Amino acid sequence: MVGNDLLGYLRHLRTRLTFIGQHAELWSLDGMAVSPENETAPEVVFMPRTNPLPEDPSSGLDRYVLEQGLDDRVVAIIAPDRRGDGYGLSRHRDHPRLDFTRIAHEPDVHFAHLRGFVAKTSATDPLRLRELLTLAAG
């Protein structure tokens, strides 16, 4: 039974990673300064809302970043909020370049964790989401 569970998990993960590869977008945050240790602009993985929406829209995104060799460039992940029409914004691997407490008072931000690692917004326009990220970068 354990073996079947592991095989099922691996099949589901592979399917999910393929799905992410077909739909996810990689955004360059041109407005953020390049860090000395990294000569490329910080990037964000954006998972657009799909129909049907997966049960857990953010599932597998971290693994996708690792699998694609983007771990040293990605600073944030944006995924559809499963509880509403907006999006969840999160720091990738708790990257220090973003602090979502900086956007806590924006009218379309409904939650920003006190430690600044995650925020929820009703914004759905990619331009607004980019603006929120720029504000979070300070």
For residue 83, give both structure tokens: 């509880």
pLDDT at position 78, please?
97
Whole-angstrom distance, CA of residue 10 vs CA of residue 72: 25
pLDDT at position 14, please?
84
Whole-angstrom distance, CA of residue 85 vs CA of residue 138: 26
E strand or H helix at 106: none
Q: How far is CA 137 from CA 50, 59, 70, 109, 130, in A?
A: 27, 24, 19, 15, 11
Domains of the chain and any CATH numbers = 2-137 (3.10.310)
For 100-107, the CB contacts below 8 A with 24+ separation are: 100/136, 102/135, 102/136, 102/138, 103/132, 103/135, 103/136, 106/132, 106/135
pLDDT at position 54, please?
81
112: left (phi over 0), alpha (psi -120 to 50) or beta: beta
pLDDT in 10s for each residue of the chain, 138 residues: 667 777 766 677 888 899 999 999 999 887 655 555 555 678 999 999 988 878 888 889 999 999 999 999 999 999 999 888 899 999 999 888 899 999 999 999 999 999 999 999 999 999 999 999 999 998
The pTM for the full model equals: 0.85
